[in-house]
Chains A and B, each alone.
Chain A
Amino acid sequence: MASALVAASPPAPPPKDDDVPAEVSLIDLLYDKCAQAPEGTVFFQRELSNMQVANTMTELTSLLQELCDRHLMKLMTFDNEPCWKLRSKTEAEKMRRLTPDERLLYHHIDQVQSEGIWSKALRARTNVTQQVLTKCLKSLESKDLVKSVMSVKFPNRKMYLLKHLRPSEDIAGGPWQSDGEFDSGLIAIISGLVAQHVEQETCIRVPGNWNNYVPEDRTAAIAQKKAQVQAVPDIEDVLPTKSFRPPKSGNTSRLVHRHKPKYPTAASISTWITDKQVLRDKEVREDDMEQLLEMMVLDGRLEKISGNNYRTTLTTTDEPVFNGFVDAPCGTCPVFDLCGDEGDICARTCVYFDEWLGSEE
């Protein structure tokens, strides 16, 4: 990475004014050089020395010390080796204005990164009083350095993390949630897509005339012929009756369960949705998909069969089927519990019955 940095560095440093102290310009030079690296790069000592800003190691150390004091750099350790990370100038400016307490808290919040830290845990780690803690956190928030997020796992815990970070899934919930709330629009769209997909996999649309067989009714034909010839029909030749069958036509098609389908699972559907790339910068893991599918089962859109396979719920009628109780006026009566044998509310004077029987007067 160091070589890449060197290669990326501009061929000549910009000319500096002579009246500016040399050290200061060196600091800026180092900062600028580091800033050219992609954001969030972690610099180790040898990379910094490779930048050839400082002549000696002591000079480099003092430069870095100065940068850290100005909050332009953050000292970290990696495998017991010191390393540094750059901060933006505005951020550094904000940092410079912090009180020591605030800085301490900021440091701790910074450490946990996207996981966030609970205010109580923060207090335990820093040993500040509750008043100070509250005050400092407030001022940090007002300075746009940290933000608080409600944890999904513990809804009454406020988690603090740096302003620019996105909260991790642990505290912000899976792909279906945003800001700790379920994103109903997103859920509706994705579940619609999933339902369509599952329907394709497990059902088959059959047109009404799929078996275009016209039964030639021999008996009826004979009887008719006979009637024509004889003029007086014979009672033994009554037209055979057929059991009732709903009429079928070519226009109406019907969904039926597929023969030997490959039932989709949470895993297969989550792979499918990932391949489709419908969800931007959100990852749907198998668990998340299972949550969604289970919810759809509760919704009655899918049904679960044996283990973790899902299929579409089919009904032969589009109209919902209730039962005798709900279809009667009493089933949905708002005053059912108040209704008595006699009195103001009773069957005799019931307006809902009137409405239902269509005998309103």
Chain B
Amino acid sequence: MSYLQRETPVLAELCTFLVEDLYGELAARVFSILARDGRQTLAAIVRASYLNGRQIKHGLAVLIQQHLLFHSASDSQLNYYEIDWQQSYALVRYGKMLRLVENRFGKKAANVVSNLVTLGHTRLVDLKDAYFPHPDPADREESKGGQTNGTRPDKRNASAERVNGTATQTDVAVNGSATKTNGTANNIPSELHGANGAKANGAPDGGDAVEGVESQDEQGSIIQSMDELYAIIYHLMQQGWIMKVEGTQYLSPGDLHEMARKAVVDEGYGGNNPTGNKDKDQLAALILQRKRYIRDEWSTVPKFPTRKRQALESDYGRATKRLKVSSANEWSSSRDDVAILDAGYANGQNAHSDLVIRVNPEKVAVGMRTEQLADLVEQRLGATTAQIYRVMLYSLEKNVSRCFEEWPDRINPDPDAGIDASIDHRLLVTARDVAKQIDRSIDLFEGLDPHAVMQVIRKGHVDKHNCLTLATDPYNISLDDRTKIIDKHIQLLSDDPFHFVTWHSRDGYSQWRVEFEEITKAIIQQQIENTIAGRKGALGVKLIRALKKKGKLDERQTCNTMMMSAQELRGFVNDMTVQGLIQTQEVPRVERREAKHSMHLIWYDRQRAREKLLHDAYKSMIRILQRIASERGKVQELLAKAARTDVVGNEEKWLSRRELAGLRQWKELHETLLLQLFREDDLVASLRDFIGPLISP
């Protein structure tokens, strides 16, 4: 994370706020010392603060548990502590992270991730204990059969689970034939289903019905059995959202580099540093390779048995409200594992109970990228096309472990890399894949030219008002036609100047790939343009685009490109120069360097503008957090009263009307500010996390 580590005091301040918000004052104090003075030992921290060693150790423990600190390898006598800026900033993303997981894998998975986030990292067995507090060995024996779930202490719930299990089964069957229009209803039992059930069942006449409602409700977010828990974790690990915790993760980038270098030198060069340029280059490449190897090792999935029943699996395979992931190919790979390991379930479980896991931050960035791309498509091409694009990106996500390679093989670029990457079939999507996976309740005709639709359905014709003469059901169309319609949407995606998808081959139905690198560069440019549009209006954006297209320009050339007079422009150029969005340069034409005889050029550097904007965004986030703090200070007394144990839950009873109004107002205010904070985080992600530094324009 070398590039991302180069940071400013602005980020330090922001992260200190975040740490204080989440982990309290002690942790924040320790954090701020490290932020101020950088990498240092425990003794140095003690010296730099008024806290005693014991307090500091407590603070450090919290920070380390949350992966906010690096600490150097154990082989050295002194332990150095250093802030992991990336992870510290990511504190602001926790909510978003849960939403991403929920959209993909459902509520239960989000629940697991939420626990992981709260705990920082955790041993598998601890997580299990958190869910099922009193494991009873006898019951576990029983649960091996998979019939009942004895680990639940609450017998009533256990029976509810059993009821639930059968209910789901029939539900699937019923759903398949009856609810054609709503293929996903069954996969989103969470809020909608539950709420509806509860409402419909306003006057339950029997205990059975009550249990039914409960199970419907709980099915959403409560994990019923250990099997299920392990299944979720296993699935999330396979998908790359959860990874192992290893000692090397606690090494700072410098330490990690040193370690990799040492290992490479020991192995390849017999412990002697190589001399000569060629060897040095090779060494550098080998070090990067080693680092990649170490990192990739973190996210390998250990073979541990989880699945007992196929039915359960498919529950997680098809995840979201919006989307059905075809579960067939996903599970086929793991099926034999399951078969083999099914027998040794108990052993396997014991062997892996010590496994320590955490959320993979790189995957979160991938998920955020997907959402932002889909949002952008929605702005440009409409909701349906965006949905199709989202499905395409979801299906790629599993095989995209990070947004960009931080340690690329620069010295020895693989000559086949271009072809190789395109050959990688895991990064290709076809319209047919999308057609199989997409939610059936989406009107696929939306956003298309009626003529294009006509070409596919071949019924009736398009009249002069561009209406179909023969209304057609957009939901019940054959798979072939759906594929063709989706192909039209994909065509729109590829025609767009952003080139959201790129045609790859005719294999099967057209195969498409997504050139993330180019798109994310365009997104950065767009975010910069959006910012300028907000600040300076359309003219500023025009100037930036002109400079981006033409490079360095003097005043006359600028006027020519933008077709306007110099007077109109000068004010803008000055303002934007002051804001650091464009650069100026003076090139003398005569020896005496007179200003009159010099060329005055202006130009635009995307990387600089990006860094400036990132800096401003951080600063703006600090201001929001400060504002939240000051607003909270205003209603401090009220909040304290509302937080009293006797008041919680009985607000109506103990608080006056004015106090209630105040409380509501504060909540609204708080939400507005937080929402804005998260939106700024989106900006930060698109500027910072999707691609490394843009060195050449």
Interface residues of A (CB under 8 A from B): 155, 176, 181-182, 184, 187, 204-207, 209-215, 217-219, 232-243, 245-246, 254, 256-260, 291-292, 294-295, 297-300, 303-305, 314-317, 320-328, 330-332, 336, 339, 341, 346-348, 350, 353, 357, 359
A316, B446: Cα distance in complex, Å: 12
Is the C-beta of B319 less than 8 angstroms from some C-beta in chain A?
no
Contacts of B213 in A (CB 8 A): 235
A291–B563 CB distance below 8 A: yes
A324–B682 CB distance below 8 A: yes
Other than the known A254-B447, A259-B488, A322-B533, what 19 A-B pairs have Cβ atoms closer than 8 Å? A207-B465, A210-B450, A210-B466, A210-B467, A235-B197, A241-B196, A242-B181, A243-B442, A256-B382, A257-B449, A294-B561, A299-B538, A324-B676, A325-B531, A327-B676, A330-B619, A339-B623, A348-B626, A348-B630
Q: Select A219's contact among B13, B182, B451, B455, beta carbons within 8 Å.
A: B182
A211 to chain B, nearest CB (A): 5
B515 to chain A, nearest CB (A): 15
Contacts of A241 in B (CB 8 A): 182, 185, 188, 192-193, 196
Chain B count of residues within 8 A CB distance of the other chain? 99
A244 to chain B, nearest CB (A): 9
Binary contact track B619-654/A, C-beta < 8 Å → 1, others 0: 110111011001000000000000000000000000
Known: A259-B452, A350-B627. A245 touches B683 (CB 8 A): no
Binary contact track B547-573/A, C-beta < 8 Å → 1, others 0: 001000000100111111100000000
A134, B466: Cα distance in complex, Å: 69
Q: Select B448's contact among A256, A341, A346, beta carbons within 8 Å.
A: A256
A315, B382: Cα distance in complex, Å: 8
Would you list the 7 A-B pairs with minimal beta carbon distance, nearest first?
A: A324-B679, A326-B534, A330-B620, A240-B182, A259-B452, A259-B449, A347-B626
Contacts of B488 in A (CB 8 A): 259
A332, B193: Cα distance in complex, Å: 43
Residue ID in chain A nearest B556 by CB atoms: A155
B442–A323 CB distance below 8 A: no
A238 to chain B, nearest CB (A): 4
A299, B623: Cα distance in complex, Å: 33
Residue ID in chain A nearest B443 by CB atoms: A245
A327–B679 CB distance below 8 A: yes
B471–A213 CB distance below 8 A: yes
Q: List 21 A-B contacts (CB under 8 A).
A: A184-B564, A210-B450, A210-B466, A212-B471, A215-B181, A218-B180, A219-B180, A238-B193, A240-B181, A241-B193, A243-B441, A292-B563, A295-B561, A297-B545, A298-B545, A298-B546, A300-B538, A300-B541, A322-B533, A336-B619, A357-B673
Considering only residues 456-483 of chain B, those with a C-beta below 8 Å from chain A are 465-468, 471-475
B380–A316 CB distance below 8 A: yes
Residue ID in chain A nearest B567 by CB atoms: A181
Contacts of A210 in B (CB 8 A): 450, 465-468
A159, B208: Cα distance in complex, Å: 98
Contacts of B452 in A (CB 8 A): 259-260
Q: Select A357's contact among B448, B465, B472, B669, beta carbons within 8 Å.
A: B669
Is the C-beta of B212 less than 8 angstroms from some C-beta in chain A?
yes
Contacts of A242 in B (CB 8 A): 181-182, 441
A176–B450 CB distance below 8 A: no
Known: A207-B467, A219-B182, A348-B630. A326 touches B531 (CB 8 A): yes
Known: A219-B181, A298-B546, A325-B620. A235 touches B212 (CB 8 A): yes
A320–B468 CB distance below 8 A: no
A215, B182: Cα distance in complex, Å: 12
Segment with Cβ contacts to A, from B37-45, B199-207, B506-514: B199-207
Contacts of A218 in B (CB 8 A): 180-181
Contacts of B535 in A (CB 8 A): 326, 331-332
Q: Select B559's contact among A182, A206, A300, beta carbons within 8 Å.
A: A182
Residue ID in chain A nearest B376 by CB atoms: A321
Identify the interface centre among A204, A304, A324, A353: most chain B CB within 10 Å of its CB: A324
A327, B619: Cα distance in complex, Å: 14
Q: Select B679's contact among A217, A260, A303, A323, beta carbons within 8 Å.
A: A323
Is the C-beta of B383 less than 8 angstroms from some C-beta in chain A?
yes
Residue ID in chain A nearest B633 by CB atoms: A348
Contacts of B669 in A (CB 8 A): 357, 359
A20 to chain B, nearest CB (A): 58
A15, B681: Cα distance in complex, Å: 97
Contacts of B216 in A (CB 8 A): 235
Known: A257-B449, A323-B531. A240 touches B179 (CB 8 A): yes
Contacts of B559 in A (CB 8 A): 182
A259–B448 CB distance below 8 A: yes
Q: Select A315's contact among B178, B179, B380, beta carbons within 8 Å.
A: B380
Known: A213-B474, A215-B181, A219-B181. A321 touches B530 (CB 8 A): yes
Contacts of A233 in B (CB 8 A): 200-201
Q: Select B380's contact among A207, A314, A339, A350, beta carbons within 8 Å.
A: A314
Q: Select B466's contact among A207, A232, A245, A331, beta carbons within 8 Å.
A: A207
Contacts of B322 in A (CB 8 A): 243
Contacts of B171 in A (CB 8 A): 236
Contacts of B196 in A (CB 8 A): 238-239, 241
Q: Select B530's contact among A243, A254, A322, A348, beta carbons within 8 Å.
A: A322
Known: A298-B545, A298-B549. A211 touches B471 (CB 8 A): yes
Q: Select A206's contact among B193, B209, B450, B497, beta carbons within 8 Å.
A: B450
B171 to chain A, nearest CB (A): 8
Q: Select B197's contact among A238, A305, A316, A331, beta carbons within 8 Å.
A: A238
